[in-house]
Structure 1
C-alpha cells in the first residue's frame, strides 16, 4: 500500500521558501500552499509531475516560478506595454500542470496571462486550481498553440519551460511577438549569442532576436537559467 503523504502547511512552506531565499506570506503563501497540496493529491492520479510529495515539488518546481518573478521584475516592459485599458498579453505554452504559470501568477500579476496546453487532464487540473484559488487575468486554454495564436494580436511576452527546443520555438513565434517583446526560456545552460552557438543544438541566435537579459540560479546544486530573448522585428 502506498504511503499516505502529509499535506503542506503554510508555516512549513514559508520556512522552506525562506531556506531557498524567498519570503512568502499572506495571500501568496496561502495560495501556493493550496496549489502544492492539490499538485500532491492529483499527481498520484494524473501523473502530473515527477515528484510525489510537496517538499521536492517546492524545491525543484515551484522555486522556478519564484526565481522567474525576480527575473521578470528586472525587464523593461514599457516598450511593449499597451494602454491602461488593454493589458499586455503573456503566453505560456505547454503549461502542463500550471508550471511555471500558476505559482508565478500567485506572486506576480502583471498583464493578462494565458496558459495553453493540448492535453485534457492538464487543462482540467489547471482549471480546478483556478476555481479554488482565483487569480486575476489568468486564463487556461485547451488548444494547439497554432490554433490559439490564430487571429490573436501579437504578445508582449511568451514563457517557455521545456515546450520545444528554442530554435524551433523562435521559428514558431515569427511574427507573433511584438517588437521589443520577450521570449523567456527556462534552460539548463547559458543562452546562445550571435557568434557563439548554444551547447545543446550548436545553433547561433538569429539576427532578428537579441539576448536582453539572463538570470542564473541553482536548484539542488545544478545550474538553471532564464533567458529573455527580445524580438527586433515588427509582427507580420
Structure 2
C-alpha cells in the first residue's frame, strides 16, 4: 500500500484473482465526512456537484461495501478525491486513459469528472468493486467512462493501445510496469500516483522497468496550491515492445 493514498486504496490484489467478499455485519456510514475544500470548485468547475455525489457515495455505500475504510471519511476530499483529480493536469484532450486496479474508483472517477474531454476506462477484477463502479458511472451519467472487469494482463485485447495508463497505490514500480506497459501504445505514458518513496522506486526498479520498454522515468508533483501535500506521480513513456512485459506469472501461491 502506497503511503500517499491512505489506508484503503487499491492494493496489488486489485489486479490479481477475483473474489467476492461480503461483510459479515452491516457497517454504519461515518458521520465525520470532511467538509468540501475550496479547491474542489476550481478543479471540477460546473461538474463539482458530481464530485460531491461521489464523495457521498464513498462515505456511505463505499463504506458499507468495504471499499473504503470508515476512518477515511474525514479526509475523502483532500486525501483521496482531490489527490486523484489533480493528476488531470497531466492529461491532454482526447486521450484514452486506462486506470488499472481502480478499486473504489481512484483515481479514475475523479479524472472522469474533471476531464470530460478524455475517455476513462476503469479496470478492476473484483466483483463487489466493479458493481459499485458501474453504479457510479450509470447514476452520475459519466458518458466518458466505462468499467471493465478483469486483471490488467487479461484485458490487453480489449483495453490495449491506451494513451495513458494510471494507477494509485497498486504495486511496486517494476510489477506495476509489467501490468501497465502491455496496455500502452508505443509513445504512451504511465502515470502512477505514488508516495514519498517514488524516487527510491525509480532507483531500485529503473533498470528492470527500462527493459520492459518504459523510459524517461521521472517524479513529478501536481496540485500546487490545491492539495497539501501535492500529489506525487511517477511518469514514464513506452518506446518499444518487450517480451517481458505482460508475461504471465506461473507457479507459487497468491494471496487472496
User: Same fold judged by TM-score > 0.5?
Assistant: yes
Distance 1:220 1:210, change over 3 A: closer
Kindly indicate whether the alpha-carbon contact (under 8 Å) linking 1:190 and 1:225 is maintained by their aligned counterparts in 2. Answer: no
Q: Match for 1:5 among 19, 31, 43?
A: 31
Distance 1:107 1:165, change over 3 A: same
Q: Match for 1:127 among 129, 134, 142?
A: 134
Q: How far does residue 204 in structure 1 lie from its aligned partner after superposition?
A: 2.3
Q: Which has the higher contact order (CA 8 A, sep 6+)?
A: 2
- Equivalent-residue separation in structure 1 for 2:239 and 2:232 (angstroms): 22
In the alignment, structure 1 segments of 5+ residues that lack a partner are: 78-86, 193-197
Kindly indicate whether the alpha-carbon contact (under 8 Å) linking 1:210 and 1:232 is maintained by their aligned counterparts in 2. Answer: no
Aligned residue in 2 for 1:36: 55
- Equivalent-residue separation in structure 2 for 1:147 and 1:3 (angstroms): 34
Kindly indicate whether the alpha-carbon contact (under 8 Å) linking 2:156 and 2:182 is maintained by their aligned counterparts in 1. Answer: no
Q: How far does residue 234 in structure 1 lie from its aligned partner after superposition?
A: 5.1
Alignment size in residue pairs:
212
> How does the TM-score come out when normalised to structure 2?
0.69
Distance 1:49 1:110, change over 3 A: same
CA offsets, 1:155-186, max 9 Å, x none? 11100112221111222344432222101011
Is residue 144 from structure 1 mapped to residue 151 from structure 2 by the alignment?
Answer: yes
RMSD (CA atoms): 3.3
- Equivalent-residue separation in structure 1 for 2:72 and 2:236 (angstroms): 34
User: Residues 150-165 of structure 1 correspond to what in structure 2 (within 5 A)?
Assistant: 150=157, 152-165=159-172
Kindly indicate whether the alpha-carbon contact (under 8 Å) linking 2:130 and 2:147 is maintained by their aligned counterparts in 1. Answer: yes
Aligned residue in 2 for 1:45: 64
Distance 1:23 1:105, change over 3 A: closer
Q: How far does residue 95 in structure 1 lie from its aligned partner after superposition?
A: 0.5
Aligned residue in 1 for 2:8: none
Q: How far does residue 17 in structure 1 lie from its aligned partner after superposition?
A: 3.2
- Equivalent-residue separation in structure 2 for 1:24 and 1:216 (angstroms): 15
Is residue 100 from structure 1 mapped to residue 137 from structure 2 by the alignment?
Answer: no
Q: How far does residue 211 in structure 1 lie from its aligned partner after superposition?
A: 2.6
- Equivalent-residue separation in structure 1 for 2:237 and 2:29 (angstroms): 47
In the alignment, structure 2 segments of 5+ residues that lack a partner are: 1-26, 244-256
Kindly indicate whether the alpha-carbon contact (under 8 Å) linking 1:97 and 1:122 is maintained by their aligned counterparts in 2. Answer: yes
> How does the TM-score come out when normalised to structure 1?
0.74
